[in-house]
Structure 1
Amino acid sequence: MTTRVRQTVTHLADGRELIYFDDTEPFVSGAATREVHDRRDLPPVAAASEIRRDPLTGEWVTFAAHRMDRTFLPAAADCPLCPSTATSATEIPAGDYDVAVFENRFPSLGAPSGTSDLVDDEPLWPRRPATGRCEVVAFTPDHGARFADLPLTRARTVVDALAARTAALSALPGVRQVFCFENRGVEIGVTLQHPHGQIYAYPFVPPRSRTLLDRAREHRARTGRSLQRDVLDAELRAGTRVVWSGEHWSGYVPAAARWPLEIHLAPHRDVPDLAALDDPERDELAVAYRDLLGRVDRFFPGVDRAPYIAAWHQAPVGEDRESGRLFCQLFSLRRAPDKLKYLAGSESAMGAWISDTTPERIAARLREVAP
């Protein structure tokens, strides 16, 4: 079921890039083109973000004060991700679309390049512009849809869009890590309800990725093998936490799952990122990902749409790339139909997680709610 996709690149009124990923006629064949222009009068985006290094942890912290006034939970009639109409101009000028990707109007990253300096002239606190790029991925023009309900052809188009943008952003100067993700639910902190994802192109390797890479490098030095490959093989051998398995992908609840609902979806082949997937792997990913998101929505009785984060862990660009391996971490902070998992003292201050369930119970429930 390989989907043919045409990319059309245009620009919004303030100069931001917009890319349509079309899988339907008359656009996919080129019989028609997206000639609609953004009719809004927008000022240029002024991203003045900076990053500062925490001397206690070595981590870079991003400061993006311009995001304080970003759009927050607008009514459906004012949604900026819906197609434009005769009376409403949105971030997507076309009257309809398949999948659309555009530069975020309120980006966390994307400050102009500049020189590094010190906060208060103290060597302990280096800072520099938060270069990079933030993009929004609108999965569908349907405001009330969810990813699990998309046709397989459209889910595959989203996969292709994420892969294409991963490749393009990885080639930008200064980018060290490309992170594709979806936040869903007000409990997660979303500011737009329309089904969408995001892509961050970081100018540094984030802390979680650094930890994964360090552990992978240590494991290879000790055993000569890939850590994530060994974890996947061990989960498949045990079978007790496997919830989905196909020819190219397997989904499982990790043996040390932190969240009350957590699934890792990993390819059977060692690949660094989404861009490296071949057509059969992308086809099956669309099936597996849609299936697992549907199970998340059925996991808690009486909950129609569980809040979740879908995070695509990819290999970094440049140094340590050989230590990275693609996988998706899908998790929810809901622990019961009417309760959330709060990261309190132990988790937030010490990073020491305490779970209210077991991975085996999570896996058993996910198998119960399989379609």
Structure 2
Amino acid sequence: MAVPGGEPGTHRRFNPLTGRWVLVSAGRDGRPWQGGREVPAAPPGTAHDPGCHLCPGNARAGGAHNPDYQGPFVFTNDFPALRPVRPDTGVAGTGPSPLLANRLLHAEPETGTCRVICFSPRHDASLGSLPLAGIRAVVDTWAAQDRELGRDWRWVQVFENRGALMGASSPHPHGQVWASSSLPDEPAAEDARQRAYLAEHGAPLLADYADLEAAAGERVVLEGEHWLVVVPFWAVWPFETLLLPRRQVARLADLSEAERNSLADTLRRLLNCYDAVFGCPFPYSMGWHGVPGPWPAPSGDVSGPSGAGAYWQLHAHFYPPLLRSPTVRKFLVGYEMLAGVQRDLTPETAATRLRACLHSPAAPAGQDPAGQTGLARPKADR
């Protein structure tokens, strides 16, 4: 899809998933930079760190000891942001009730739970460096957490912060899952927009978007039978990507065996592609957005054209902050905080640079855990 006028000048792009706009000012990434510079991250050099709170057998900050785990390990966060007990009453929450309410001020209790997912026992690993069987085990853990927590909670947020630049408290490969009794702002906006789109057009918003991007090609990073990775037309972060399934599926728990195998390969290729952009461990925040719950047990498939979640398309957002080198990052400050978000690098340029990194030695295309090709080779140069 070409922006009117050929090579785009300054323009705005609309995000149909949230209803917000992003200002695109192509070429500003080349401006002189005299601001602060980040220290490039170096991967841990040891498979087991006796001082790490997440390594097998070690004591955590809260005092508990980790078991000698061999695959993904899940535990309740020792310092959770959400708790299943209402802080005002000391009893389990049964739904929001006002703590304070008038015309301008409103507060209410919020309950939930927070868990940590260690991806691997190896301190020196990353999600993208794991063998495909190891990544598939992480995918299955995500899906199991989604299925379990989605029975009781309105929202289940699976996410990973990679690197100190994105606030990761430990270099040990890990992510988190937070479940809450209310629907947070970002998924609430996506939920409303996807419901309205299906009602108006008779198809899921992100399914139509995936078809559009696959046909256009210019923002596609990876394309296969089961998954599509694009730099979204409305991207805010310089090398932001959106990961989409090719069939309508509402949540992680509903992914098929073939989709899970393919997802493992897609994740490995994408994450190694990121590391190849500037030749360093690429920091990012990523997370999955699936249809809000709760869904009753036994959890049936809510996906598909006739499912209760037919309006929603599962997807993952990847938000890496690096702009033009391992030491120069994108900041959301000034205009972004006071007016609206802005980017310097066009999404089309970012997608071209990411595609160029797919064939780097750091971005292999491997075999899935069953020994079959997990993701089709990119079409043409994709």
TM band (smaller chain): 0.7 to 0.9
Which residue of the partner structure matches residue 223 of structure 1?
Answer: 201
Mapped partners of 1:213, 1:122: distance in 2: 27
Which residue of the partner structure matches residue 142 of structure 1?
Answer: 122
Residue 336 of structure 2, aligned match among 338, 347, 351: 347
What is the total number of aligned residue pairs between the two structures? 291
Deviation at 1:165, TM superposition (A): 0.7
Deviates more, 1:261-270 or 1:219-228: 219-228
Give SS of 1:78's match: coil
Amino acid at match of 1:307: P
Please, what TM-score do these two structures have when normalized by structure 1?
A: 0.73
Distance change in 2, residues 1:141/1:345 (3 Å) = same
Residue 256 of structure 2, aligned match among 257, 278, 284: 278
Paired residues of 2:204 and 2:312 also in contact (CA < 8 A): no
Mapped partners of 1:123, 1:76: distance in 2: 53
Mapped partners of 1:127, 1:85: distance in 2: 39
Residue 164 of structure 1, aligned match among 138, 144, 153: 144
In structure 1, stretches of 5+ residues that fail to align are 1-74
**Where do residues 107-122 of structure 1 align in structure 2 (5 Å cutoff)?**
107-112=80-85, 113-114=92-93, 116-119=97-100, 122=102
Determine if the alignment matches structure 1 residue 310 to structure 2 residue 283. no
Mapped partners of 1:207, 1:146: distance in 2: 30
Which residue of the partner structure matches residue 240 of structure 1?
Answer: 218
The answer to which structure, 1 or 2, has the higher relative contact order (CA under 8 A, 6+ apart) is 2
Please identify runs of 4+ aligned residues in structure 1 that moved more than 6 A: none
**Where do residues 1-371 of structure 1 align in structure 2 (5 Å cutoff)?**
76-84=49-57, 93-112=66-85, 113-114=92-93, 116-119=97-100, 122=102, 124-172=104-152, 175-300=153-278, 303-318=279-294, 321-337=309-325, 338-350=327-339, 352-371=340-359
Which residue of the partner structure matches residue 3 of structure 1?
Answer: none
Deviation at 1:321, TM superposition (A): 4.1
Which residue of the partner structure matches residue 3 of structure 2?
Answer: none
Deviates more, 1:227-236 or 1:123-132: 123-132
Distance change in 2, residues 1:116/1:222 (3 Å) = closer
Mapped partners of 1:321, 1:238: distance in 2: 27
Give SS of 1:168's match: helix
Paired residues of 1:82 and 1:92 also in contact (CA < 8 A): no
RMSD: 2.4
**Residue-by-residue CA offset, 1:66-102 (whole Å, 9 max, x unaligned):** xxxxxxxxx943211101169x997553234211011
Deviation at 1:309, TM superposition (A): 1.1
Which residue of the partner structure matches residue 30 of structure 1?
Answer: none
**Residue-by-residue CA offset, 1:263-313 (whole Å, 9 max, x unaligned):** 11111111111100010000000000111011111112xx41111011111
Paired residues of 1:80 and 1:90 also in contact (CA < 8 A): no
Deviates more, 1:77-86 or 1:261-270: 77-86
Q: Percent identical across equivalent pairs?
A: 37
Amino acid at match of 2:137: T
Mapped partners of 2:274, 2:154: distance in 1: 31
Distance change in 2, residues 1:117/1:186 (3 Å) = same
Mapped partners of 1:214, 1:194: distance in 2: 36
Paired residues of 2:55 and 2:172 also in contact (CA < 8 A): yes
Paired residues of 1:118 and 1:125 also in contact (CA < 8 A): no
**Residue-by-residue CA offset, 1:191-240 (whole Å, 9 max, x unaligned):** 12211000011211111111112221222222222111111000001011
Mapped partners of 1:306, 1:133: distance in 2: 29
Which residue of the partner structure matches residue 19 of structure 1?
Answer: none
Deviation at 1:355, TM superposition (A): 0.5
Give SS of 2:236's match: coil
Mapped partners of 1:321, 1:204: distance in 2: 18
Please, what TM-score do these two structures have when normalized by structure 2?
A: 0.71
Mapped partners of 2:105, 2:310: distance in 1: 31
Amino acid at match of 2:293: V
Mapped partners of 2:323, 2:135: distance in 1: 28
Give SS of 1:240's match: coil
**Residue-by-residue CA offset, 1:302-337 (whole Å, 9 max, x unaligned):** x41111011111111159844321011112011021
Mapped partners of 2:84, 2:337: distance in 1: 29
Distance change in 2, residues 1:193/1:226 (3 Å) = same
In structure 2, stretches of 5+ residues that fail to align are 1-47, 86-91, 296-307, 360-382
Paired residues of 1:316 and 1:324 also in contact (CA < 8 A): no
Which residue of the partner structure matches residue 36 of structure 1?
Answer: none
Mapped partners of 1:117, 1:356: distance in 2: 43
Deviation at 1:180, TM superposition (A): 0.6
Mapped partners of 2:333, 2:255: distance in 1: 38
